[in-house]
A and B are shown apart, each in its own frame.
Chain A
Amino acid sequence: MTKIVYIEHDGKSHSIDVQNGLTVMEGAIQNNVPGIDADCGGSMACATCHVYVKEEWFNKLPKKEDGEEDMLDMAFEPNKFSRLSCQLTVIDELEGLTVQLPSKQA
């Protein structure tokens, strides 16, 4: 288990222990964190699991693979700390990873 912190757009914070191997998106969906839709179920085809990664964490994450940046073009209000949470696999090193959720996904 690794602690992931999800902060809703209005500031409400959810600190969730997510099983290693799941994605940050799955951690939110399985624990009913509002603000992540994940319409396509994690196949990197919809950009509705978009999160803003806290700056101090952004460079510690594995780099984006081909296609993620293309999908982020379609996300709602992306910025330079945007990631698709379905592409972030939870591992021990991410203990305390903090992501902020956009005001909406579309």
Chain B
Amino acid sequence: MIKTDALIIGAGPTGLFTAHQLKLIGLDCEIVDNLDKIGGQCIELYPDKPIYDIPAIPECTGEELTNGLIDQLKPFDIKFHLNERVEEVKNNNGKWEVKTNKGTSFNTPNIIIAGGVGSFEPRKFAPKDCEKFEDKSIFYSIKDKKIFKNKTVSVFGGGDSALDWAIELSENSKINLIHRRDEFRGAQSTVDKMNALVKEGKINLYTKYQLKGVKGSENLESIDIEHDNKEVKNLKTDFVLGFFGLIMQLGPIANWGLNLDKKTINVDTEKFETNQKGIYAVGDICKYPGKLKLILSGFHEGALAARACFKLAKPNEKYRFEFTTTSTNLLKRLGKKE
């Protein structure tokens, strides 16, 4: 069980700056995020898109903003738990006990939810029967590519993931590549490579088709794909891979007894505390009158929530407001003074 002054859920820009604020005022914190990398929506949804409304930064991409925030955390020692999703939050004598899906557990007086719109999960196929075969014959990510050797694999999607896997697996597997339109959004060089393999007969390409149904009892046997003009084709296949990017799902947060408003969490605007003492929500996921879903709002909310954490983390000390320009304490924590 890891003891910490505050646990941050979400390593997006708001979570990162909240960590900065906690460490600056002398509190420990750890960060959990379901993605395999730091940066949240900025890195997952728009790493290359410019952002123009960060104060004092006229223009930066999602990736640049993330890198800047990570740089700003350099003076501090912060443990990240990536690829982990918080599943359970329970109150135990005024402290919160938190468990992730990987079995990591925390004991903390403060939880700051900086979860954006929830955790990123793969987008799945529409037909209901697909669930039955999920993780057996239908996959949304690949852990062990050896299982596809000498089998027929049907790959869906038009981005780099779909194309890269279709190309790579075509060496040892029979590949069907299925996409809903003629254009692919993958890199041009990858599209060219794919087209060459289609000419060589190593990839069977079906465009303007989507998955309509799956067939099989124990194991997947075949799939029906439907053309824009409603024509249906049946393809024998051993495996199906779907690459439709990620979607945000609120997930387990819905079960923690918080006062939710659709996919957001109601908070006060003094501490950004939820209806549960010691649980705060900041950034896109929080809701209060006048809430703006801007990154700069998340920074403000995180700074205030961090101050609120102080009281529960160090009940016998008094928090004193200080400036980084003048405070010896803060400059020491920032590594600028001995």
Q: Give Cα A48 to B45, complex, Å.
A: 13
Interface flag for A21 (CB, 8 Å): no
What are the interface flags for B230-255 relative to A under an 8 Å C-beta threshold, 1 for contact and 0 otherwise?
00000000000000110111000000
Given contacts A39-B117, A40-B45, A77-B126, contact A48 B158 (CB under 8 A): no
What are the interface flags for B197-210 relative to A under an 8 Å C-beta threshold, 1 for contact and 0 otherwise?
00000000000001
Q: Give Cα A78 to B179, complex, Å.
A: 11
Interface flag for A43 (CB, 8 Å): yes
Interface flag for B332 (CB, 8 Å): no
Interface residues of B in 131-157 (CB under 8 A from A): 157
The answer on a CB contact under 8 Å between B183 and A69 is: yes
Interface flag for B99 (CB, 8 Å): no
The answer on a CB contact under 8 Å between A73 and B248 is: no
Interface flag for A70 (CB, 8 Å): yes
Given contacts A39-B247, A39-B248, A78-B180, contact A46 B45 (CB under 8 A): yes
Given contacts A48-B247, A76-B126, A77-B126, contact A70 B185 (CB under 8 A): yes
Given contacts A39-B117, A45-B41, A79-B228, contact A74 B245 (CB under 8 A): yes
The answer on a CB contact under 8 Å between B41 and A106 is: no
CB-defined contacts of A69 to chain B, threshold 8 Å: 181, 183, 185
CB-defined contacts of B263 to chain A, threshold 8 Å: 37, 39
B contact face: mostly helix, strand, loop, or mixed: loop
The answer on a CB contact under 8 Å between B293 and A73 is: no
Q: Give Cα A19 to B249, complex, Å.
A: 30
Interface flag for B123 (CB, 8 Å): yes
CB-defined contacts of B284 to chain A, threshold 8 Å: 41
Interface flag for A80 (CB, 8 Å): yes
- Of the candidates A46, A73, A76, the one having the most CB atoms from chain B within 10 angstroms of its own CB is A73
What are the interface flags for B246-272 relative to A under an 8 Å C-beta threshold, 1 for contact and 0 otherwise?
011100000000000001000000000
Interface residues of A in 36-74 (CB under 8 A from B): 37, 39-41, 43, 45-46, 48, 69-70, 73-74
Given contacts A39-B248, A79-B228, contact A73 B41 (CB under 8 A): no
A contact face: mostly helix, strand, loop, or mixed: loop
CB-defined contacts of A79 to chain B, threshold 8 Å: 228
Size category of the A interface is: 10 to 19
Q: Give Cα A39 to B115, complex, Å.
A: 12
Q: Give Cα A41 to B41, complex, Å.
A: 12
Q: Give Cα A46 to B121, complex, Å.
A: 12
Chain B, Cβ-Cβ closest to A40:
B45
Interface flag for B76 (CB, 8 Å): no
Given contacts A37-B263, A69-B183, contact A45 B293 (CB under 8 A): no
CB-defined contacts of A73 to chain B, threshold 8 Å: 157-159, 179-181, 185, 244
Q: What is the CB-to-nearest-CB distance from A62 to chain B, in angstroms, rounded to a whole number?
A: 19
Which residue of B41, B244, B248 contacts A74 across the interface (Cβ within 8 Å)?
Answer: B244
Q: Give Cα A85 to B263, complex, Å.
A: 19
CB-defined contacts of B49 to chain A, threshold 8 Å: 43, 45
The answer on a CB contact under 8 Å between B210 and A106 is: no
Chain B, Cβ-Cβ closest to A29:
B262
Q: Give Cα A76 to B183, complex, Å.
A: 18
**Residues on B facing A (Cβ under 8 Å):** 41, 45-46, 49, 117, 123-124, 126, 157-159, 179-181, 183, 185, 210, 228, 244-245, 247-249, 263, 284, 293
Name 27 A/B residue pairs within 8 A (Cβ), A-sorted: A37-B263, A39-B247, A40-B41, A40-B45, A41-B284, A43-B45, A43-B49, A45-B46, A45-B49, A46-B247, A46-B248, A69-B185, A70-B185, A73-B157, A73-B158, A73-B244, A74-B244, A74-B245, A76-B126, A77-B126, A77-B210, A78-B180, A78-B210, A80-B228, A106-B123, A106-B124, A106-B247
